[in-house]
């Protein structure tokens, strides 16, 4: 009986067709499995020599950040709430990230001369230093039955 290699060579030379090659390949003994390669490492590797690691080099730490009023990664917000005095029902609620407010103040200052640059810089500095927190303004208008509460958290 022909080996698998011989059958495939006869097929490539055109001596047999595909159907006959398929029949012969099904009857041909399977090739013996190749021997397993030797292991890449010896079975009993030598024990590693004891090494002495140098002491770790101290890494200078950056100065501590100022304490924050909220958890790290949490942004601060400006909240404006307008509600009814008698029922407490909210009429208007606006929440603005302080970063966006800061950006808007800088852009707005370019288009008007009515804003005192020194006052604006003081407000921006206070926002950066987190000196502003809690209620900024709370106004009650009894005639219009409104309460306006502006605060930062």
Percent of the chain having pLDDT more than 70? 71
Pairing of strands 146-152, 77-84: antiparallel
Domain spans, the chain: 1-29, 77-152
pLDDT surpassing 50 at residue 54: yes
Please state the separation of Cα 111 from the chain's center in Å. 36
Other beta carbons within 10 angstroms of residue 10's beta carbon come to: 15
Residue pLDDT, tens place only, 7-53: 888 888 889 888 888 888 888 776 555 566 666 665 565 666 666 67
- Segment 48-63 mean pLDDT: 64
Q: What is the pTM of this model?
A: 0.46
Higher pLDDT, 39 or 107: 107
């Amino acid at each position: 009986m022909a080996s698998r290699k011989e059958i495939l060579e006869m097929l490539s030379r055109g001596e047999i067709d595909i159907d006959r090659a398929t029949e012969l390949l099904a009857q041909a003994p399977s090739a013996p499995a190749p021997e397993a390669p030797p292991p890449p490492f010896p079975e009993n590797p030598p024990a590693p020599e004891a090494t002495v690691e140098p002491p770790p080099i101290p890494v200078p730490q950056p100065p501590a950040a100022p304490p924050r009023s909220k958890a790290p990664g949490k942004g601060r917000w400006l909240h404006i709430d307008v509600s009814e005095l008698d029922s407490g029902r909210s009429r208007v609620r606006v929440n603005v990230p302080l970063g966006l407010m800061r950006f808007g103040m800088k852009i707005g200052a370019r288009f008007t001369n009515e804003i005192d640059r020194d006052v604006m810089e003081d407000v921006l500095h206070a926002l950066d230093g987190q000196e502003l927190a809690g209620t900024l303004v709370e106004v009650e208008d009894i005639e219009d039955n409104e309460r306006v509460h502006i605060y930062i958290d």
